[in-house]
Amino acid sequence: MENNIKQAIEQALSEAPERKFVESVEFAFTIKDVDLKNPSNRIQEEIRLPAGRGKSPSIAMFADGEMAAKAKDAGIIVIDPTQIEELGGTRQKARKLANRHDFFLSEIPHMGPIGRFLGVVLGPRGKMPRPVPPVADPAAIAAGLQNVAIVKSRDKITFHTVVGTTEQGVDALTQNGIEVWKRVTSKLERGSGNIRSFYVKTSMGPAVKVEVML
């Protein structure tokens, strides 16, 4: 599979229109013969990319007081918990917030309101915040997310994940891609036999099909 993934990445990069920003490179999987109504069959993985994400993820935290100060010192975007209800009251604002950041953290007391007001937007995107206990260091949690890709199928047969950026080049992206491919197929009963289709694309570029070896 390594050769097939590498060739598809090369094609995706060469066919991507030139942009004034660095595009992400994504994998799209469509699986078959898997009962996703059963939660135990759903794919939910955090994968450490061996060549890194290519750029630092945007991390935001719902926090106030001392924890907010710690988060700011760590370069984390702090969201005032008093804004949770307001953000959730306007779906457009909530969507913008969800799309702006890759990961969310939160002090534990704010998790309830977040679920109530923002869960409908953050949940389906796999971006519900990670709870941060009072004694935890948000900087350490943020550091652990620097090279992580999240793969979540939820109850959908088609799902996407980031494997890096166009600036990383073919070899680094292939290295990351192989890691993602291995992890996803390891969670399927028939491995690659449960893959209906597999594509690679840049954020704004055309999708390139990867030939799946059974």
Residue 153's SS3 state is coil
Per-residue pLDDT, 141: 95
Determine the pLDDT at residue 18: 86
pTM assigned to the model: 0.84
Last residue of a domain, one of 144, 162, 188: 144
Structural domain ending residue among the three candidates 128, 144, 160: 144
Residue 173 located in a structural domain: yes
- The domain total for the chain is 2
For residue 91, the enclosing domain spans 59-144
Instruction: Profile the chain (214 residues) by mean pLDDT over runs of 10 residues.
Output: 97 91 95 95 95 94 97 97 93 93 96 96 91 96 93 94 96 98 97 97 95 88
CA distance 174 to 178: 6
Domain at 74, CATH number: 3.40.50.790
Q: Which residues contact 107 (CB under 8 A, 6 or more apart)?
A: 61, 62, 63, 64, 67, 81, 131, 132, 134
Same domain, 92 and 78: yes
